[in-house]
Amino acid sequence: MRHSVAESQLWNRTHSEVEDDQDHDPAEQRIPTAWWVGGLLVSGAFCTALLTPMLDLPVIDPLAAVGLALLVAVLAVRALGQTDLNPVSGVGKLSQVRHTMFCFLIRTSIYWYQIYQMAVLVPT
């Protein structure tokens, strides 16, 4: 099995190079985990409390949106850290894939709901 050059370079990394990738900031300079987890929970609750009555959404929709936004934000930060380039194009493509999947799921569920309605309304 042949490996690409990038895979070969990744495979041949030494232990010291892997240690160089670790975070070297002192603990007092790092953001405490409780701060960002607390901020995420508060902002997620605020978004849910604001969007649910305003747009007449079920509670799960804003919570799912916050969760997906968190995943996209983590990918964007990692891309920025690895390449030092603005990750807008990558995040845009990822958002397009996500919206395509949701549209497909919504269309499929509508299709099956219509089939269900036809089966219920059509007498046998």
Give pLDDT, residue 83: 75
- pLDDT above 70 coverage of the chain, percent: 76
75 contacts 91 by C-beta, under 8 angstroms:
yes
Give the whole-angstrom CA distance, residue 119 versus residue 124: 9
- Collect all residues with Cβ–Cβ distance below 8 Å to 37 and sequence separation of at least 6: none
Percent of the chain with pLDDT over 90: 10
- pTM value is 0.51
pLDDT, one tens digit per residue, over 28-85 is 788 888 998 899 899 999 989 998 999 888 888 888 888 888 888 887 777 777 777 7
